[in-house]
Amino acid sequence: MSMHLESLPGPETITRRTLENGITVLVYENHNAQSVVLTGSVEAGSLFDPPDEMGLATFTASALMRGTEKHDFAEIYELLEGNGASLSISGGMHTTGFGGKSLGEDLPMLLDLLSDALRRPIFPERQVERLRGEIITGLKIREQDTRFIAGRAFRELAYPPGHPYRRNGDGQIEIMERIPRDHLGVFWRQHAGPRGMIVVIVGAVQAEDAIRQVAECFADWQNPQQPAAPPLPPVPPLEQVYERAVSMPGKSQSDIVLGVAGPSRFAEDWYAANLANSVMGVFGMFGRIGAEVREKRGLAYYSYSRLDGGLGPGAWRVIAGVNPANVYRAVEAMVGEIRRITTEPVSAEELADVKANFTGRLPLQLETNEGIAGTILMMERYGLGLDYLRRYPDIVNAVTAEDVLAAAQRYLNPDVYALAIAGPELPAGES
């Protein structure tokens, strides 16, 4: 079997239906597997956090499965785990996402539990307090994580005060300690609703059966007050280098994050930026940065770049973990690669390589139900159309070296970036 464009999930094989209340359901049948995968999102995320209760959205999302009008915590998880199934709900910046997996015949159970959790959560007091303690323990542990601390310091430098991306939905210990339980229910009832909800189902199911089951669980869900997402404030471009080093006792290695706010997934130059990023810090074991920092200079176990994209201006950043004595040698190499990608066009060979990678990896990306479901969710979220995978090679192949250079220049600048370092105290003279 080889993968032809016609065999990729497309308009003939993805069934897409919009319920009257605004929920979009997409189903792809795959009878080669015994499992069914359920994924999707509700348009209620950290963007709605009240200013004095940052983290409320993620706290609420984590609490949705702690008890509903129909089932208590123990019953929910006995149903899931007893059948070898899983279902989880977690808060994000723009949406609250869900994901589950079961044997094909258990899809009705998964959907029933999901609908209960999203529509009839009761936030039992004991459960909320238990969860609160678990979250606080997790937040304290995170304060010891150099990667997390470097990432947080980076966001604080790259995004202006008040911008939601600055804190990424993170809760803070002192806020988590004081959010009253009843605020969770109020928050969820106000913000969650069917409008904009996406449900993707992939696996051993009949499409029409699956859509009927979703409708049975969700068609009568209404929230006339469901608010539109607040607009994101603009992110003014940085004007200079902003640097912060966080000293953490007892650590052996420094984590470095260097970058800027990048394009959203909707940006016209998204593909050009994505190809630029691949040349710079992904392709062939982490691109030019991997070759320079890890392979040539032997400075780090990992060094790569990442372009977040997403619904808003996610970060475009270069990341490395190095010995504290090598921090500024690594930074120099990272900045050197930013200089190169923004001053000279990528070579014809490099461009051909990353294009081949982008188009050639589809068979692996679409091997499993999880892979297919994630791809279909992405297609729906960004309005790419059911024929997206068929058009995809042409979209990628149309990008020129000049487009790549222009995109890199638009977002990156070797003299202007945010730089965060977290780890042991840097040796004297390091700067």
Partner 1 sequence: MPDTSREVTRHVLDNGLIVLLKEVHTAPVISWWVLYRVGSRNERTGQTGVSHWVEHMLFKGTEQFPAGVLDKAVDREGGVWNAQTSYDYTAYFETMPAGRIDLALRAEADRMQNAVFDPDEVESERTVIISERQGSENSPTFWLFEETRGAAFRVHPYHHQIIGDMVDLQTMTRDDLYGHYRTHYVPNNAIAVAVGDFETAEMLARIEELYSGIPRGPEPPRLIRTEPPQQGERTVRVEREGNASYIFQAYRAPAATDPDWFKLAVADSILAGASAPGGNSIGNKTSRLYKALVETELAASVGGGLYPSIEPYLFNIMVTVRDGRTPEEVQAALDAEIERLYNGDVTQDELDKARKQAKALFAYGTESVTGQAFWLAFSENFSSYSWYENYLEHLEAVTLDDVRDAARRYLRRSQRTVGWFIPVNGQEGESA
Least spacing, CB of residue 122 vs partner 1, in Å: 18
Closest C-alpha to 67, from 139, 135, 128:
128
User: Using CB under 8 A, which of 13, 24, 83, 397 touches partner 1?
Assistant: 83
Least spacing, CB of residue 45 vs partner 1, in Å: 23
Q: Which positions from 129 through 148 interact with partner 1, judged by CB under 8 A?
A: 129-130, 133-134, 136-138, 140-141, 143-146
Q: Which positions from 366 through 405 interact with partner 1, judged by CB under 8 A?
A: 366-369
Q: Which positions from 20 through 59 interact with partner 1, judged by CB under 8 A?
A: 31-35
Residue closer to partner 1 by CB (options 44, 110) is 110
Compute the distance between CA of residue 155 and CA of residue 182 in angstroms, rounded to an integer: 31
Sign of the torsion formed by the C-alpha atoms of 411, 417, 418 and 419:
positive
DSSP percent split of the chain into helix, strand, coil, nearest 5: 45, 20, 35
Least spacing, CB of residue 253 vs partner 1, in Å: 4
Q: Which positions from 272 through 291 interact with partner 1, judged by CB under 8 A?
A: 283-285, 291
Residue closer to partner 1 by CB (options 310, 324) is 324
Does 359 engage in binding with partner 1 (CB under 8 A)? yes
Q: Which positions from 398 through 427 interact with partner 1, judged by CB under 8 A?
A: 423
Q: 300-339 mask for partner 1 (x: CB under 8 A)? A: xxx------------------xxx--x-------------
Query: Where do we find the tokens 């706290």?
Result: 59
Contacts of 83-88 with C-beta under 8 Å, sequence gap 24+, read 83/109, 85/109, 85/110, 87/38, 87/113, 87/114, 87/117
Does 215 engage in binding with partner 1 (CB under 8 A)? no
Q: To which H or E segment does residue 84 belong?
A: none
Does 3 engage in binding with partner 1 (CB under 8 A)? yes
Least spacing, CB of residue 164 vs partner 1, in Å: 26
Least spacing, CB of residue 369 vs partner 1, in Å: 7
Q: Which stretch binds partner 1 (CB under 8 A): 71-79, 164-172, 268-276, 306-314?
A: 71-79
Query: Where do we find the tokens 């939905």?
Result: 169
Q: 147-166 mask for partner 1 (x: CB under 8 A)? A: --------------------
Compute the distance between CA of residue 59 and CA of residue 53 in angstroms, rounded to an integer: 10
Q: Which positions from 221 through 240 interact with partner 1, judged by CB under 8 A?
A: none
Closest C-alpha to 318, from 258, 375, 371:
258
Does 77 engage in binding with partner 1 (CB under 8 A)? yes
Q: To which H or E segment does residue 116 belong?
A: helix 107-119
Does 6 engage in binding with partner 1 (CB under 8 A)? no
DSSP string, 390-411: HHHHHHHHT--HHHHHHHHHHH
- Specify the DSSP class assigned to residue 32: T
Residue closer to partner 1 by CB (options 3, 186) is 3
Q: What angle do CA 270, 169, 155 make, to 5 degrees?
A: 60
Closest C-alpha to 77, from 51, 341, 85, 369:
85
Compute the distance between CA of residue 173 and CA of residue 171 in angstroms, rounded to an integer: 7
Query: Where do we find the tokens 């149309």?
Result: 398
Q: Which stretch binds partner 1 (CB under 8 A): 53-61, 304-312, 355-363, 381-389?
A: 355-363
